[in-house]
Amino acid sequence: MASSESGITSTDYPIPLTPPHPPHSREVELRRAMSASARSGAPFDLSVVFEDEWIAVVNKPSGVYCDSVLSSLSSSIGSSTSSCNLHLANRLDRDTSGLMVVTKHNKAAARLVKSFTDHTVSKTYLALALGPVPDWCRAHITSGHGRSKHGAWRVYSVDDVDRTLPGGSHVKHMETAFEVLSINRSGKFHEPRNFLDTGIDSDVKSIVVRDKVSHGENNNIRRDEVLMRAYPKSGRTHQIRLHCQYLGLPIRGDVKYGGVCQWNGMEYDFHALHAESLSFVHPITEVQLNLKAPPPSWVKEMAPTV
């Protein structure tokens, strides 16, 4: 039995509660990565939601790497960037669309990165999940988060937080709130309202992750179109995608975490996740900024009232 210098054996590591990436996801991810790399060579049109001399907040399209955002922004601003040092204050997955903050000077970068690290930035996301209609309209889920021995991000029990993982890292706390906005294209879209700021109401289902949950065989699962808004309270890698997987509501197109890329006769080259809003204090002027990105087309299809 293998053991590390610290004396930890393979049987001492915490057990992940979500499955590993399915084999077919490798081919899909490779195809998407090649497509994104091909697009990264040339600047693309980038929608700027907010900009001043210190920062720019942009609406990143899906299928684009974060570093491509820097290149495109630099090209669109032109010569005015000559005295700037562009830096990404936050990152989004390649296929996630929505708001990203780019700082123009080191002073702003240091302060804003700290705001993201300290979780003082409020964020909301929109996600289109395919799965059985949940027995809740609003939910609050807490779990552990970390890399398994093969490097994949997985959900762990809350009781495993701070335990050592195979690569030497530790399980970290992960917390997300969800609310259902529409089911099978029926519902009423509304503006974000972070219902956890005033405490958890009785109508918010509390889900504390300690055990694996079976959602049945993949081919036999009922799939409804469930449009949700997510309020991440922590900032873990793939957090919303992982929690959706654990809840049995994988995001459409998210092949890594149980989502299907073919739906209603169409094939999707991205997962349906959108960074909808950011609220934070400006790193220099200290003005409160509450910014939103326009909803993508798939949100409008699911919620006609948008």
Which residues are catalytic, by number? 93
Integer CA distances (angstroms), 145 to 16, 115, 126, 204, 246, in order: 9, 21, 21, 22, 12
CA distance 265 to 127: 20
Q: CA geometry: angle at 100 spanning 97 and 105, to 5°?
A: 160
Read off the amino acid at residue 236: R
Token pair of 261 as six digits: 């890329």
Burial status of residue 143 (CB atoms within 10 A of its CB: 0-12, 13-18, 19 or more) = buried
Query: How wide is the angle at C-alpha 97 spanned by C-alphas 42 and 76, nearest 5°?
Result: 35
Q: Is the dihedral of CA 210, 273, 67, 91 positive or negative?
A: negative
Neighbours of 286 (CB within 10 A): 8
Dist. CA 24–CA 166, nearest whole Å: 25
223 phi/psi in degrees, rounded to 5? -120, 105
